[in-house]
Structures are given as structure tokens and as C-alpha cells.
Amino acid sequence: MKALSIDHYGLVTEEDLGVSKAGILGDLRRLTSATAVEAVSLTSHWDAWLAEDGIVNAAPINKAATGLARGYGLLVNLRGTVVVTGANRTTGKVLGLSRGQLAILQGRLGCGR
């Protein structure tokens, strides 16, 4: 299952989630260097996952991910590494991003293909 990781320097990387023994949430915790993660709804189909304690731990504001969120109308400051996934609002499940969704997100982040 594909996801897009955005570190606080703005480096964007495609990631595979759910392939480790830790499962999807374990992979999200590993990618965000967090013991607990939370999701911010970017759109009706996408979530941005980040460390739940980013503010307390003084994680730097992620300008690229914050800009992405603001482009979808959210007035937030996202901190640390952010991982964007698909989301099923009916079931609450994390979904992978399609090639088309990855391309849209990468284009909005200025790293189009």
C-alpha cells in the first residue's frame, strides 16, 4: 500500500505501508518517529498522519505539508514528518494511494513527475 512521506525539510518519498510485522500503524509510527500518531483529514479521501506529541516535543513545522494542508482549506501547522495516506471514511480504514493520487500530491508539493 503506497503512501507519501514528507519530512520537515520538504523531502518527499513514496513509502510502502503494511509490509512489516508492525503493520500499518507501526509503519506510520516508524516513519514519523513517534510512539503515537494522529490523523488530520486533508480531504474526504486523504489523511495526513503525524506524531501526536509533535508540539510538546518541539518538532519543527513542516512547511511543505502545512502548505499542502492549507491548499485544502485547513488552517493548521503540521509538525515533523507527515505521511499522507488514502482514507475510507465509511470504514475508518487506512488506504493506499493510487498512482494518480501520488501524482496529484507530488504535483501540489512541487515535485511532479
**Predicted TM-score (pTM) of this structure:** 0.94
Tell me the pLDDT tens digit for each residue of 4-44.
Answer: 999 999 999 999 998 888 899 999 999 999 999 999 999 99
Tell me the pLDDT tens digit for each residue of 58-112.
Answer: 789 999 999 999 999 999 999 999 999 999 999 999 999 999 999 999 999 988 5
Question: Where are any strands of DSSP class E within 7-110?
Answer: 12-16, 37-41, 46-51, 82-88, 93-95
**pLDDT given at position 50:** 95
Measured distance CA(92)–CA(29) in Å, rounded: 18
In this structure, the number of other CB atoms found within 10 A of the CB of residue 66 comes to 20
**pLDDT given at position 112:** 52
Tell me the pLDDT tens digit for each residue of 42-71.
Answer: 999 999 999 988 877 878 999 999 999 999
With a cut of 50, say whether residue 113 has pLDDT above it. no
